[in-house]
Structure formats: C-alpha cells, structure tokens
Amino acid sequence: MTQELFYEDIHVGDDMPELVKGPLQKLQHVMYAGASGDFNPLHTDDDFARAVGMKNGVIAHGMLIMGFVGQAITGWVPKKYLKKFGVRFSGMTKPGSTISITGKVLDKRVENGENIIFCEVVARDENEDVKIIGHFEASLPNRD
C-alpha cells in the first residue's frame, strides 16, 4: 500500500522511487495480449514479427510498458491524488529486457487552491535505451 505523501515533504529535484521490472518474459506478452484484447501477432508470434522486419522477433506492447510506468507512479503517489499522466513512446521493448522507471519533481506550486507537483518519468532498458518519456501531475494534501 502506498504511504501518505504530503506537499510540504516534496521538493523540486526530488527523485521518485525507482521501479525495476523484468526481465520480461514472452509469456507476459501473451498474457497482456489476452488482458488487453490486442492480439496483434507482432507481440506474440516470432515468425510473424520476423516476416514484417523485426529481426529479433516479437516486441512488447507499448501499453504494457506504460502500465509499468503507471505502477511506478502510483507506488509513490497514491492514485487518488493523480490528476494527469501522459507519455510518448520512444522505443521498442523485446523479451528479456529489464525496464527501470525513474522520475523527478520538476516543479510544485499552488494552483486554484490545489498543491500541484509536476514530475517527469522515464522508462529505460538495461542498455539505457529510452522506451517511454512521460509526465504526471498530482494534487497533494497539506500536512495539517
């Protein structure tokens, strides 16, 4: 369970806790396909993936990696405080990769009576190749 987080305890430049996922197994790709309904064989069938130009075979669903990013965020900030979350996909992820999600507080301010923190997040593989760049905003309570 996520611990309570207060606006006064957060400072610009603070790092959010890192989350490491993996190494990814091909079974996760298949399970995610079933859960999401996205059965594109690019994610589950190595022969198909190679036939369409993916020399190493299947790639992970981008939304699976985005889910890991969401898990990292809500492992730090209780989801009831999350206001916005957006990403840009930057690279393909293959089975066997280990994904590390990091983040940093870029700004904090009071807007319309809400204590808002603005943060960046990045998901990278074990080679430091960026898979996702994103951001989120959260409205945190005061420590009263």
96: left (phi over 0), alpha (psi -120 to 50) or beta: left
Count CA atoms closer than 13 A to 129's CA, side-chain side: 12
Contact 103, 72 (CB under 8 A): yes
**For residue 89, is pLDDT > 80?**
yes
Q: What average pLDDT does the segment 34-38 reach?
A: 92
Where do the domains of the chain lie, and which CATH numbers do they carry? 7-25+60-140 (3.10.129.10)
Taking the C-alpha atoms of residue 116 and residue 104, their distance in angstroms, rounded to an integer, is: 14
User: What is the pTM (predicted TM-score) of this model?
Assistant: 0.92
Contact 137, 116 (CB under 8 A): yes
In this predicted structure, what is the pLDDT of residue 2?
61
Contact 110, 116 (CB under 8 A): yes
Residues 112-133 pLDDT 10s:
999 999 999 999 999 999 999 9
Residues 45-61 pLDDT 10s:
999 999 999 998 999 99
Q: What average pLDDT does the segment 55-84 reach?
A: 95
